[in-house]
Amino acid sequence: MTLRIGAEEEFHVLDVESGRLVPRARAVLDRLHRPGFTTELQRSAVESNSAVHDTLDALFADLARSRRLLDASASSLGLVTVAAGTVPLARLSPGDVTAGRRYRHMADEYRRVADEQLICSAQVHVDIPDRDTAVRAMCLVAPWLPPLLALSASSPFWLGEDTGYASWRTMLWQRWPTAGPPGCYADAAAYDRALDELIGSGAISDAGMAYQDVRPSAHQRTLELRICDACPRVETVVLVAGLFRALVRDACERLARGNAVRCDGHHEWLRAASWRAARSGLEGVLVDPVTRRAVPAHGVLRDMTARLRPALEASGDWENVHELLGRALADGSAAHRLRQAAGRDDLLASVDLLIAETRGAAGPRGGVAARPARAPHLSPVAGGAGS
């Protein structure tokens, strides 16, 4: 069974001089003028969409290329794009959303929740045999998603302050009506009925606002991972993609054999596990998906990877994932690295680090690219281009 993978990455647009978030995504995209890139709710964010791939190496190359294209476009305008759940320096601009009826409705209906949507995520899509299988697999993979959030955690700062969390983006994201762990459904028809009821209630306006941590695609035969922060290092996205593909493969095989463990309906611990991952990242404990006890994050991820080894080997991903996980655990979460940079200097130093890591990183299976030199230190100018 071949399960192809793809990814979407969201990027913040910053003024290169001040390091501050600026609403100039449209200008970056207009200069780029290529398919595969689009705007988001806030005018300070852009999204890239990869092609679908069989291998992690191909996914890495695709994502790295998109990052280079975005960086070149932004640089020509005195801007820079960075991948992180939140950026250290930003300020709120209520109602300042991308043009269009849908986004205007979201701004008017959700008010401060929409105003504070200055966040970016990384999403992974994995092929799945059919939509019924996608819906049933959601419940099987859901307990294992908080460790993926911990791997991606990159948002310790919010509006110039340290939140104490590894992923403050998660705390902001969970305020939307449908955000969080998915429910369990017998089949796609049951899931669609539940979604129709949510739309009918007026709490959300369309199927695109089904913001669960994992969901079936409305248009493709894929399962979508949506729990993760945007990741400064592209290899973190590749690591998450490899682990998620293994989770999906494992779930599909268990469903096909008829030996999938029945959901116990107790989902409150899933939200608690997500909170724990957002709070601690890789530097503390996580909720073990098997025992539901607090266990050091490194142990949870190593055990998870060992459990998934057959699925990883079936996809040809074991070597890449094993190597990338070792690097991730040795280096710590992006949130940890950003705090270290700020602690040595100031918040602008953490912006420098975001720029450097977004621009280049070591790829899977020894495909090492030289990291760029440290970005010129950013001067703390209030505001910035387009603010």
CATH number at residue 322: 3.30.590.20
Q: Which residues pair with 114 in a beta bridge?
A: none
pLDDT at 260: 73
Question: What is the domain count for the chain?
Answer: 1
The reported pTM is 0.92
Over the stretch 17-75, which tens digit does the pLDDT of each residue have?
999 999 999 999 999 988 899 999 999 999 999 999 999 999 999 999 999 999 999 99
Burial per residue of 38-55, b for 16 or more beta-carbon CB atoms within 10 angstroms, e otherwise: ebbbbbbbbbbbbebbeb
pLDDT band at 365 (very low <50, low <70, confident <90, very high): very low
Residue 197 lies in a domain: yes
Residue 377 lies in a domain: no
Does residue 100 register a pLDDT over 70?
yes
Residue 62: name the closest of 48, 45, 82 by CA.
48
Residue 369 lies in a domain: no
| Separation between Cα atoms, residue 265 and residue 189, nearest integer Å | 19
Residue 185 lies in a domain: yes
The structure tokens listed for 308 are 């998934």
pLDDT at 158: 98
pLDDT band at 364 (very low <50, low <70, confident <90, very high): very low
Q: Is 323 exposed, middle or buried (0-12, 13-18, 19+ CB in 10 A)?
A: middle
- Residue 266 makes CB contacts below 8 A (sequence gap 6+) with none
pLDDT band at 383 (very low <50, low <70, confident <90, very high): very low
**C-beta of residue 237 within 8 angstroms of C-beta of residue 225:** no
Q: Helix %, strand %, coil % for the chain, to 5? A: 45, 15, 40
Domain range enclosing 211: 5-258+267-359
Residue 312 lies in a domain: yes
Over the stretch 272-316, which tens digit does the pLDDT of each residue have?
999 999 999 999 999 999 999 999 999 999 999 999 999 999 999
| Separation between Cα atoms, residue 70 and residue 258, nearest integer Å | 45
Residue 135 lies in a domain: yes
Residue 248 lies in a domain: yes
- In Å, what is the CA distance from 170 to each residue of 62, 163, 327, 380? 26, 12, 24, 27
